[in-house]
Structure 1
Amino acid sequence: MAHNLNFDEKTGTYSFFSVQQKAWHGLGQIVQDYPTSSEAIQYAGLNYEIAKKANRHELPSGKTIVSDSSFFTYRTDNEMVLGSSVGKDYHIVQNHEAFAFFDAIVGGGEGILYETAGALGDGERIFITAKLPDYIRVGNGDDITEKYIFLTTSHDGSGSITAAFTPIRIVCQNTLNASLRSMTNTVRIRHTSGAKGRLESAHKVMGLANTLSSQLENIFNNWAKVKVTDSEVKKLIQLALCPNKETFDLIKKDAQDELSTVFKNTVDDAFSYAMLSESQQMDTTKGTLFGAYNAVTGYYQNVRNYKDSEAKLQSIVMGGTAQLKAQKAFELCTSFEKIGEDIFNYN
């Protein structure tokens, strides 16, 4: 199944919860009020512990060797093996410790709003999103970007603990990753000795999110006042989505007929979103540099097709293609604001 949510056979429920709104897969628990961290753990089916034991190897002679370098991880509630081969230095960060990280951001949990959480596969990967009690406002305040913290970690040795600040525009659910300007607000922690301690102090790094969001608010408000033409919007889209130097050189020469059909179709889809989407008709977005930027991020969030939800998450939040293209769009808009239309016009 594309959603890959963990199914708990004992309770007959999926390990996922969401506040008020159903997810696209329609599974898990929908709650009306924002839960505490302890409640969220229960709702999301994350109330299980992980343990680690040494692997045992049976030799042809019948002798059994207990490894001192190869271990496996498993859930203590159902003894499901999650990782079959992790090193002796692999340290477990329990689910409740991941939630403690969120509570530490705002001091004891006051103000943190848990939006979604869940487990994937057999419970080897978990994810949590929480909303911070503040906003980015563009224009007269009608265009609001909420501020979210996203965290994911694995229990099978396949990846690090990752937390990132992610603003999302309410109007079109347009994900804007705050690492567009700096990766300092993205925290990655390896499952080694001291991981728990580093996670506990990570909120100090994530505290930069408030400073960064204030900077973004000023930038976006300035962009909302900068007028751009339709042709400039299309050129920005082309440059932001450009896949390689060869395509860049063709764009620079304005050799439109020589561009690949796939690339032209992608640009056309993003440009159509820029011109026709309801969220692009606001005073802050219609014919503005801010709207041009949102044309790129909105395309990846609302138009582009993905293999499944995990692929979309990877692309938009976890450093994939969408995040890289949004970074490029951000840089182009910053240059346009400083230099003017020359940034898009080569001829």
Structure 2
Amino acid sequence: MSGDYQVVQPKAVLEFYRDLVEQRGYPLETAGALAGGRKVWALARTGLVAGVADDAADKLGAYVLLATSCDKTLATTVTFTSVRVVCQNTLSFAVRDMKKGNRRSIKVAHSLRFDPAQIKNDLGLMDESWEKFKQQLTPMAGQQLSKGDAEQFFLSLIQSDKEAKEGKISDRKHKELMQLMSFYRHAPGQSLPAAKDTLWGAVSAVTYYVDHFRLSSGDRLDSAWFGTGAALKEKAWEKALEMTQSQ
């Protein structure tokens, strides 16, 4: 590594969370390593819980995910993450910062010193960010989708621009589409009122697919949180926001 590379040891990640437990009452729920130990992470529960569109049966819990890498493949990253209780799907939500705009994560490059005090200051944005996230969920749960609408939503996520222009799809992506449609109908929690035949149900089908079934060249969890799986979930979320804002 270059001389300006700042190492963040696994101990620093866990010490950071110990402080959160003491100062903010966030229980450290779990911690682990990915990619043969090259990435380390820890997940803390904030205690914030909400029903989607006030549906108490479809609960989401708010978590803080902190991760770093030992090989510069991942900046030290803090992400606000929701977990859908009924199926354990994860979906990050934006950090609401008036000065810096909406950010999907708080990131500290390894060329900079990890400053726990500054990160904890940024975590003060959690409550406002969570409230905004809940507000965005409500119109998604209220927007009904036909079978054709759902297929078009999923196609928009997996089709390349060339495929969309030519009106075709590869056999591999057709299989992926069929999996998403199956999860849209039958994955855990999809029969709940907020999800059944709704845009929120379509987003949940994507998160369920990515977190529990999507094939990855490496670790599925690594992909779902930091790689191509995370990018697919983010694309689904942005597409759903676009659809609700156009109504």
| Distance in 1 separating the partners of 2:236 and 2:19 | 33
Does 1:305 find its partner at 2:221?
Answer: no
| Distance in 2 separating the partners of 1:272 and 1:122 | 33
| AA of the residue aligned to 2:177 | V
| AA of the residue aligned to 1:336 | M
- Given that 2:95 and 2:103 are in contact with CA atoms closer than 8 Å, whether structure 1 keeps it comes out as no
CA 1:162–1:335 in structure 2 vs 1: closer, same or farther (change >3 Å)? closer
Percent identical among aligned pairs is 24
| Distance in 1 separating the partners of 2:85 and 2:76 | 27
Does 1:117 find its partner at 2:17?
Answer: no
What's the C-alpha RMSD, in Å, of the aligned pairs? 2.6
Within-5 A mapping of 1:139-218: 139-156=54-71, 159-179=74-94, 184-192=103-111, 195-196=113-114, 198-218=115-135
CA 1:160–1:323 in structure 2 vs 1: closer, same or farther (change >3 Å)? closer
| Distance in 2 separating the partners of 1:313 and 1:180 | 22
| AA of the residue aligned to 2:231 | L
- Given that 2:95 and 2:104 are in contact with CA atoms closer than 8 Å, whether structure 1 keeps it comes out as no
Q: Secondary structure at the match of 2:189?
A: helix
Within-5 A mapping of 1:13-32: none
Q: Secondary structure at the match of 1:206?
A: helix
CA 1:125–1:275 in structure 2 vs 1: closer, same or farther (change >3 Å)? closer
CA 1:315–1:120 in structure 2 vs 1: closer, same or farther (change >3 Å)? closer
| AA of the residue aligned to 1:112 | Y
Does 1:136 find its partner at 2:50?
Answer: yes
Deviations 1:201-235 (A, max 9, x none): 11222332322221111121222122221211111
Q: CA offset at residue 95 of structure 1?
A: 3.4
- Given that 1:154 and 1:161 are in contact with CA atoms closer than 8 Å, whether structure 2 keeps it comes out as yes
Match of 1:126 in 2: 40
| Distance in 2 separating the partners of 1:114 and 1:291 | 29
Q: CA offset at residue 268 of structure 1?
A: 0.7
Q: CA offset at residue 270 of structure 1?
A: 0.5
Q: CA offset at residue 122 of structure 1?
A: 7.4
| Distance in 2 separating the partners of 1:222 and 1:151 | 30
| Distance in 2 separating the partners of 1:224 and 1:238 | 20
Match of 1:323 in 2: 230
Does 1:291 find its partner at 2:204?
Answer: no
| Distance in 2 separating the partners of 1:88 and 1:336 | 47
Does 1:245 find its partner at 2:161?
Answer: yes
| Distance in 1 separating the partners of 2:173 and 2:126 | 34
| Distance in 2 separating the partners of 1:128 and 1:186 | 15
CA 1:141–1:262 in structure 2 vs 1: closer, same or farther (change >3 Å)? same
| Distance in 1 separating the partners of 2:74 and 2:231 | 20
| AA of the residue aligned to 2:233 | A
Match of 2:138 in 1: 221
- Given that 2:59 and 2:85 are in contact with CA atoms closer than 8 Å, whether structure 1 keeps it comes out as yes
As a proportion of its length, which structure holds more helix? Answer: 2
CA 1:235–1:158 in structure 2 vs 1: closer, same or farther (change >3 Å)? closer
| AA of the residue aligned to 1:134 | L
CA 1:154–1:301 in structure 2 vs 1: closer, same or farther (change >3 Å)? closer
- Given that 2:95 and 2:126 are in contact with CA atoms closer than 8 Å, whether structure 1 keeps it comes out as no
- Given that 1:101 and 1:202 are in contact with CA atoms closer than 8 Å, whether structure 2 keeps it comes out as no
Task: Structure 2: give runs of 5+ residues left out of the alignment.
Answer: none
Task: Structure 1: give runs of 5+ residues left out of the alignment.
Answer: 1-85, 341-347
- Given that 2:51 and 2:59 are in contact with CA atoms closer than 8 Å, whether structure 1 keeps it comes out as yes
Of the three residues 181, 195, 208, the one matched with 1:271 is 181
| Distance in 2 separating the partners of 1:262 and 1:303 | 15
CA 1:123–1:306 in structure 2 vs 1: closer, same or farther (change >3 Å)? closer
- Given that 2:89 and 2:207 are in contact with CA atoms closer than 8 Å, whether structure 1 keeps it comes out as yes
- Given that 1:240 and 1:329 are in contact with CA atoms closer than 8 Å, whether structure 2 keeps it comes out as yes
Normalising by structure 1, we get a TM-score of 0.62
Q: CA offset at residue 110 of structure 1?
A: 4.3
- Given that 2:32 and 2:40 are in contact with CA atoms closer than 8 Å, whether structure 1 keeps it comes out as yes
Q: Secondary structure at the match of 1:284?
A: coil
